[in-house]
Amino acid sequence: MLELFLRSDARFMAAVGSFCAVAAVVGLLLHLLYFIHGFRVLQVKNMIVSHLVGLGLVLAETTSTFGPWKGLVAYVAISSAYFAALFLSIVTYRLFFHPLRHFPGPFPAKITKLHTPWIARHGKLHWEYAKLHQRYGEFVRVGPNEISIVNPDAYAKVHGPQSPCSKRDTGIFDSLHYNGQHRLVSITDNAQHRKRRRIWDKSLRAKALQGYELGTRRVMHDWLTRLDEHVGAPIDTTLYAKLIALDNMGHIGFSTDFGTVREGRQDRMMHLLEITFQNAAMMGQLSWPQALIMDLPKFGMQKEFERLAVRMVDDRIKNYPDDKHDMLSFLLADLMSENPKGLTNLNAVYADCQSILSGSVHTTSCVLGLVFYYLARDAHLRQRVYDEIAPLHGRTIPGEFTASDLGSIELLDSITNEAMRMHSPAPLNGPRSVPPEGIEVDGTFLPGGINVFTPSHVYNISDKYYKQPGEFIPDRWTTRQDLVIDTRAFQPFGFGHYDCVAKRLAKNVLRLAVAYTLWKYDFEFAPGEDGATFRNNEVFRVILKLGSLKCVFTKRSRA
């Protein structure tokens, strides 16, 4: 009996060993013949489903052949052999055969993208990148297929108008869509992007921007009314910077009054935006979870945010055409035309409206919050700004400021520029994929098929490009330009075809917000406030999220 048992057990082990060998070969070949050839992130759902089906069939076969208990043992052994061979091949390739194998970087990053979510767990990914570049130099391998570059030549070579690099096959942009239609920011085809961009450019021309100022002034007056109600009481300027940007986009984007400034609190939409950005930031460069989420039925906050954008569009279409002057009217005009140029179906409008809601709100609020901080801590700087804006009040419109008048004040823009240099609103920039033939950046060849990052935060705090980079000196952009060593390093609104489409709008809002505030009020840190919370609680959420800042506003005697 014992001899029979041992003989059958030996046959079982031999059979399992053979199956394990086959499974290991399959895992090895799958990596060598499939995974390392082409961009696979968008196929993640199919890969998961196919693996689940395959493993299920293996389990069914082993249990039917060997019985429940031995079948389960065989299944574990076979699946372990498959995954062991697959991952061993992946690690070996990435360490010894990958085109980026000669570039320096932290060892874990060469093996897995999970390194980035790990170092991003505290919300300081932009500072972690700065540490990496300080240790490894200008070219750092930050992922198995990713490299980060801090070299002024990279902006032109990677993002410039003549660059062959693309948003395609980066994972982040490829998966950012609504029912298959990409937002402007995530369109990877250059020709399609040009067509859509023309519609957006038309909605943000000088004449259109002038018409939007009426809505911006309404928000400014709501802000001043709110200050009137809280004279002498601590006000969280970071919060109100968000609310000002959100209400302004409500007027400019949709002719809608969100009213958050009057209420003094965030609404549901702002909360949805913050959670969305937070979740994306926590993933670091790990793009497949986002691709998987976008491929599955929507639920929770993602679905709620999309429904909000859809509802705003549908409500307008019910009464279209109307006499409203906003960004949505330009999008609908193209959609409803006999020959649409950039928006050929309703899903494209839904997608772009999500960009209107999210794109400019967070960047504008971030910069405005920074400007409030630097003005609050420097009475001399506030006085300088006041002295320059005062003569412009009522120049074009009685009792009001205009963005065109304020555009002549270099000091306003220099404060904004210096704030964006010290705290880049988009600290890492979006990735670009290198074409198959590769590119050369300042004498260093970058192989095709990799993804490249140009982290603006690291450029902006580097003493290679700025003298006294850790000091807030607005005059470096006007009267002390010797403090800027290389102007190519400063690209706050992006560079090339994919630069920020709303940069002029953002500048107008910032100028008007600062002018209206300082015209009627002086302000400073509230008692007990030293700015430490503001500085220390700054976290990377794709767009920089600022800490709270309590300020006290004092009404000017002549206002």
Binding site for heme, by residue number, is 500
* Bridge partner list, 484: 466
What are the percentages of helix, strand and coil residues in the chain, rounded to 5?
A: 60, 10, 30
Closest of 368, 376, 296 to residue 543, by C-alpha = 368
* Bridge partner list, 452: 147, 432
Looking at the chain, how many residues does it have?
559
* Dihedral sign computed on CA atoms, order 455, 459, 460, 463: positive
* DSSP characters over 395-434: SSSTT---HHHHTT-HHHHHHHHHHHHHS-SSSS---EEP
Cα–Cα distance measured from residue 432 to residue 499, given in angstroms and rounded to the nearest whole number: 13
Residues 266/290, Cβ–Cβ less than 8 Å: no
Q: At what angle do helices 327-336 and 346-376 cross, to 10 degrees?
A: 160
* DSSP characters over 189-245: -HHHHHHHHHHHHHHTSHHHHHHHHHHHHHHHHHHHHHHHHTTTS-EEHHHHHHHHH
* Bridge partner list, 446: 439
Pick out the residues of the known binding site: 500
- Phi then psi dihedrals of residue 88, to 5 deg: -65, -40
